[in-house]
Amino acid sequence: MNNPTIQAILSRRSVRKYLSTPISDEYIQLIVNSGLYAPSAKNKQNWHFTVISDKETIEKINGLTMIGMEKLGIEKEEGYHVFYHAPLVIVLSSVIEGYSGLNAGCAIENMAIAAKSLGIDSCIIGQTRYMYHQANQVDINRLLKIPEGYEHDCSICFGYIDGDAPEPKPRKQDLVDYIR
Amino acid sequence: MNNPTIQAILSRRSVRKYLSTPISDEYIQLIVNSGLYAPSAKNKQNWHFTVISDKETIEKINGLTMIGMEKLGIEKEEGYHVFYHAPLVIVLSSVIEGYSGLNAGCAIENMAIAAKSLGIDSCIIGQTRYMYHQANQVDINRLLKIPEGYEHDCSICFGYIDGDAPEPKPRKQDLVDYIR
């Protein structure tokens, strides 16, 4: 079946090697807008997006995350970069409520799929939460323009892939039951 | 821009009026598979999908949810049906962990977008959680084939829309900040 949307969904991979090629403003807008059009429980839209293409800020977040990981004793490979040197990062924050994780997932996946349809790969990053284990939360939230009352959920980095897409990890098919 | 994927993302609505027309097995497989190909933290795939096209089971879930809502004093309109009489329901359950809400959101949004690309509408339902406020959890989990160790997250119903698609709710554009 020639369905480009399902093709984008099935061919999305968590990509960990990027070219430095920047993403155009037009494409950034399409990606962000796709996130904004995600569903949210009771239409609360209780999320905040920080869209970062400034290399210096990306490096700052990487550094803060590294220090947090070190403090927590989490090992990482030599030369590890939390965003794999991707040129665009979106930090997602939420007013934490019963369904905020679910809402955030919908928003971030919309952005990943929209990007894929534009030939742009991505990786969802939970590790940026570790930033908060080393410094003043207020300072980090100021750096990332996270409004008061919002908590950092996760990040997603975007870029053009360097090399070939990884093979998909095998899916657990035994986790589907049918009631027909 | 003629991008069918972004078009599917932007035109997805939470639809609350369905025809009784069933969804073909081929389309159900495409939708479920799209859910299974969602990303999950550390590739844990810590989800379980119960795919329900059996009308009797759908009505049972509706009834149990209603009783739960009544016990909690949650008001509902006359004739309310938690799935709006949609012919297909997928119940999503997870092993609850730090990122399970985010994972579930990615999976459920993949299914909503895949369905939209096939001309099928959907609505994500959190209310089925109320089932657990009225009866034996083990009985409900047996009815819904939810494996031990998994907790019910949310549901999503699918069907062909009856009538026109609702207008999108206005999006809050002030919740995006840029660091360029």
Residue A70: CB partners within 8 Å, gap ≥ 6? none
Interface check A74 vs B, CB under 8 A = no
**Residue B173 pLDDT class (50, 70, 90 cuts):** confident
Contact B15, B123 (CB under 8 A): yes
Interface list for A 135-164 with B (CB within 8 A) = 144-145, 147, 153-154
For the domain bounded by A40-159, which CATH number is listed? Answer: 3.40.109.10
Query: Which residues of chain A lie closer than 8 angstroms to B53, CB-CB?
Result: 178-180
Distance from CA of A39 to the nearest CA of B (A): 8
Instruction: Report the residue count for chain B.
Output: 180
ipTM of the complex: 0.97
**Which amino acid makes up residue A108?**
I
Strands B176-179 and A47-52: parallel
pLDDT, tens only, B91-104: 999 999 889 999 99
> Could you tell me which residues are beta bridge partners of residue B178?
A51
Facing A4 at nearest CB: one of B5, B107, B171: B5
Give the global pTM: 0.97
**Residue B135 pLDDT class (50, 70, 90 cuts):** low
Q: Inter-chain contact A106–B103, Cβ cutoff 8 Å?
A: no
Distance from CA of B49 to the nearest CA of A (A): 5
pLDDT, tens only, B112-127: 999 999 999 999 999 9
Check residue A93 and report its DSSP letter: E
Contact A176, B142 (CB under 8 A): no
pLDDT, tens only, B50-99: 999 999 999 999 999 999 999 999 999 999 999 999 999 999 999 998 89
Interface probe with B: pick from A2, A3, A6, most Cβ of B within 10 Å: A6
CA distance A29 to A151: 23
> Could you tell me which residues are beta bridge partners of residue A179?
B52
